Structure 1
Amino acid sequence: MEYRVKDISLAEEGKRRIDWAEAHMPVLVALRKKYGETKPLKGIKVAGCLHVTKETGVLVRTLKAAGAEITWCGCNPLSTQDDVAASLAKHEGVGVFASRGVSTKEYYDDIHSAMNLNPHVTIDDGADLTVEMHKAMEEGKLKGPLYGGTEETTTGVIRLRAMQKAGKLLFPIIAVNDAETKHDFDNVYGTGQSALDGIIRATNVLLSGKSVVVAGYGHVGKGIARRAAGLGANVIVTEVDPIAALKAKLDGYSVSTMNEAASIGDVFVTTTGCKDVIVADDIAKMKDGAILANAGHFNVEISIPDLEKQSTGHKEVNQHTMQYNLKSGNRVYLIGEGRLVNLAAAEGHPSEVMDMSFANQFLAVLKIAASKGTMKPLVHNIDKAQDQEIAMAKLQAMGVTIDVLTPEQKKYLEGFAEGT
């Protein structure tokens, strides 16, 4: 199978890293054993557009074991781990089109190359593949039946629900991101830890005693705020949603506007999924040495054009950090070009949380493949039973047992018995 990776000689290192992740993903491995013999995906073509990480490698292995024919591309120009991409191409026989540091044109060329498989099922993160598939469908370029797709992240689900509302969604999507065993763990614990890991790797600053401004208090923002506070930082949350802001306040954090926080913060992390969260007026107020990082899917939350307009020049400090010299004389530091800091400057989410996220992905692909195109072109939620199954499997892998309702308790909860 054709592939396009940066350096195929990195394949052995990539294989070792995938093996490491696999040892920490027992739920996905158990699913591989369960479906490896029956091969429910035999004859099914799957195109994936996800961060090419060692954890993604375990998902690809599992899809292949279930019988799928696979092509893969990256969903962010700075998130591909080149050794993993090389390993998937050499050792798994996957058509991988992904390299770290690609241009915008190369990024979309990779997506289109993955699409050439004419997939039955797509796996997406951010909806770029899904949008390009829609364009191909409208132009009559797809040759085979497309049964549906999945979406991994909040930003992508927002885009796809907007398409559905506008009547432009042409095939069904399962919103994997909205599963409890995804967003309550991957987004909170995964991004919470890995985003700060990226900041620390890129700068080696001490977070204890610093003021960390977290823009947005959704699942990602909560996780980052909690971990920053745990490292001794003074956390300031900015929000546009009054309910989210109130939650942040009652969780013990300061809440203010970005305009107020701009002159106070030492480290800024955007997590909103929206554009222009940090703009020129905010940047002009920042103190010398302020650090800017983004944990949202796209690099639009920190306005790079505004940052450049406020600067007299910039220089690279290290592989992941750019110093901007402001007109005020102060210096601010941008990590990873304003792209996902946990993947641009670190290794992404820990394997243990991706175990549940990718178990959801795998089971969603099985459901779509079994539907043979009978699902309605809507954004579908994960079944509650699937969430419960994955959570129980994770607990068992961790050696944790929980109580079970007695028949009498079930009857009580399902009925209208008196409280006495």
Structure 2
Amino acid sequence: MANSLIRNPNLANEGKQKLEWVRRHMPVLTHIRQDFEQHRPFQGLRIGMCLHVEAKTAYLAEVLKFGGAEIALCGSNPLSTQDDICAALASLGISVFAWHGCTLEEYNSFLHKVLDTKPQLIIDDGGDLVHLLHTERRDVLAGVLGGAEETTTGILRLKAMERDGVLAFPMLAVNNARSKHLFDNRYGTGQSTWDGIMRTTNLAICGKTVVVAGYGWCGRGVALRGRGLGARVIVVEVDPIRAMEALMDGFEVLPMAEAAKMGDIFVTTTGCISVIRGEHYALMKDGALLANAGHFDVEINKKDLEAISRSRRVVRRNIEEFELKDGRRLYLLAEGRLVNIAAADGHPVEIMDLSFGLQALCMEYLVKEARNLPPKVLPVPLEIDNQVASLWLKSVGVEIDTLTPEQKNYLSSWRHD
């Protein structure tokens, strides 16, 4: 058993069963694992990871370990950690510092435990590990070659650090790779968000009015799948281009102050604070459901909700009822945390195969190139993006055309006869 802090080591066999299932459905990672086992690109290196500790993440950690790395992993969300997966990973020699429902103090201590291993490579989800490296744990900073960020929220934080001139090493924006945002954010978030809402509430979506805040790639997916389930979908946006796109995609577009009066289910996907707040609660229907699909639990303002409530109670697992002073009841799902993973199993396995395939190959790329890269937020190299997509297509038996030499010349030249 690796040096770990986990809740129950006896759950290891249950976690291994989950791990076995995802291995069978992640062909891209499996191909990469076979290559890593042969070439051992991370031999002698330590990788620190802050991700949702569930089965798909476990396989990524295992693949990197097959490549020779020492792995230290903590959870990026207290409610997404699965204790049986923690136990399974620890039994496989991977250091894990996480348990389900940890307090904020415990969460911070787990981040420190990962950095205590002095990692040379970082995989982050939301930017907390990188933030800690640049503030309280600068003692570890000099040894870090580089890292990769998984989420939109994390990329925003990293770009702010770069803008302020404090980012100390290169970070690859995995979230912005085409194989990530076009698939993970749209199809993954679209399916898993509704999976979390439906599992948690056991209510029908058809016939209801759904308000989706934010029409980035995640919001697009949530809106698309909501409509597919038979809901009337209203989109709330602050970006005129995205609002126009939502309208042209066939969705109604309204300010939150108007949408609040109509919604049965609200889903936030913006990465911003207080998207739903006191002035909106005052307008909502009795029985409205509030769910968040953004990384941090800041999009639905919980303090405002508490302030106008006369009582609160848990009425079903992951559903908290707030009875307002006028008698209306609003229902907050999964404490306002990521509903798709705090109240379900997160993105489909095949979708995370793409995202984690990118992460694995980005780690290999950083081993080779980090010393030649500037301390900035950098795009994932196109060849890595295309390699992941090609591996996935091959795994499902799909072939595509290639350009002929004549076509390549035509596309690359401005001279044509």
- Which residue in the other structure is 1:408 paired with? 406
Matches within 5 A, 1:7-156: 7-90=8-91, 92-138=92-138, 141-142=139-140, 145-156=143-154
Name the aligned partner's letter for residue 117 of structure 1.
T
Aligned to 2:311: 313
The 1:374–1:411 alpha-carbon spacing in structure 2 relative to 1, beyond 3 Å, is: closer
| C-alpha spacing 1:317/1:291, structure 2 compared with 1 (3 Å) | same
Deviations, residues 354-400 of structure 1 (Å, cap 9, x unaligned): 00100110111111122364422111110111111111111111111
> What secondary structure, in the 3-state scheme, does the structure 1 residue paired with 2:135 have?
helix
SS of the residue aligned with 1:285?
coil
CA deviation string 1:238-257 (max 9, x = no partner): 00000000000000000000
Whole-angstrom distance in 2 between the partners of 1:417 and 1:10: 66
Q: Match for 1:204 among 202, 205, 209?
A: 202
1:235 maps onto 2:236 in alignment:
no
Letter in 2 for 1:253: F
Per-residue deviation, 1:53:
1.0
1:160 aligned partner:
158
Q: How far apart, CA to CA, are the structure 1 residues paired with 2:96 and 2:306?
A: 35
The alignment yields a C-alpha RMSD, in angstroms, of 1.2
CA distance in 2, matches of 1:291, 1:69: 43
C-alpha distance in structure 2 between counterparts of 1:328 and 1:205, whole Å: 25
- Secondary structure of 2:39's partner? coil
Contact 1:216–1:271 (CA<8 Å) still a contact in 2? yes
The 2-side partners of 1:49 and 1:133 are apart by 12
Aligned counterpart for 1:187 among listed residues 185, 188, 198: 185
> Residues 66, 58 of structure 1: CA spacing in aligned structure 2 closer, same or farther, 3 A cutoff?
same
Q: What is the alpha-carbon distance in structure 2 between the residues aligned to residue 372 and residue 155 of structure 1?
A: 23
| Letter aligned with residue 337 of structure 1 | E
Q: Percent identity at matched positions?
A: 48
1:293 alignment partner in structure 2: 291
Q: In structure 2, give the amino acid aligned to 1:404.
A: T
In 2, Cα distance between the equivalents of 1:142 and 1:220? 34
Per the alignment, in what secondary structure is the counterpart of residue 235 of structure 1? Answer: strand
Matched-pair contact (CA < 8 Å) for 1:212–1:234 = yes
**SS in structure 1 at match of 2:289:** strand
Contact kept? 1:44, 1:369, Cα under 8 Å = no
- The alignment partner of 1:2 has SS state of coil
Contact 1:120 1:369 in 2 (8 A): no
2:358 aligned to which of 357, 360, 364: 360
d(CA) in 1 for partners of 2:109, 2:33: 31
Structure 2: stretches of 5+ with no match in the other structure: none
Deviation at 1:417, TM superposition (A): 4.9
The code of the aligned residue for 2:322 comes to Y
Amino acid at match of 2:406: E
How far did 1:144 drift?
A: 6.5
Equivalent residue number for residue 6 of structure 1: 7
The within-5 A match list for 1:240-279 is 240-279=238-277
Partner in structure 1 of residue 216 of structure 2: 218
SS of the residue 2:96 aligns to: strand
Q: CA deviation at 1:416?
A: 2.9
For 2:97, the aligned partner's letter is F
Secondary structure of the equivalent of 2:263? Answer: coil
How far apart in 1 are the matches of 2:21 and 2:256?
A: 40
What whole-Å deviation, never above 9, does each CA across 1:396-418 have from its counterpart, x for those lacking one?
Answer: 11111112222222222122354
Query: Given the superposition, is the C-alpha separation of residues 199 and 409 from structure 1 closer, same or farther in structure 2, using an over 3 Å criterion?
Result: same
Shift of 1:137: 4.8
Structure 1 residues 231 and 341: alpha-carbon distance in aligned structure 2, compared to 1, 3 A threshold:
same
Paired letter, 2:132: E
Quote the Cα distance in structure 2 between the aligned partners of 1:316 and 1:136. 36
Tell me if the contact between 1:310 and 1:326 (Cα under 8 Å) persists in the aligned partners: yes
- On the 8 A contact 1:8/1:86 being kept in 2, the answer is yes
CA distance in 1, matches of 2:213, 2:205: 17
Say if 2:134 and 2:141, in contact at 8 Å, map to a contact too: no
Provide the C-alpha distance between the structure 1 equivalents of 2:295 and 2:141, rounded to a whole number of angstroms. 31
Q: Is the 8 A contact 2:115 2:137 kept in 1?
A: no
3-state SS of 1:76 partner? coil
The number of residues matched between the two structures is: 416
Q: How far, CA to CA, are the matches of 1:64 and 1:246 in structure 2?
A: 46
Query: 1:8 corresponds to which letter in structure 2?
Result: P
1:36 aligned counterpart, secondary structure: helix
For structure 1, the residue ranges without an aligned partner over 5 or more in a row are none
What secondary structure is seen at the aligned counterpart in 1 of 2:331? strand
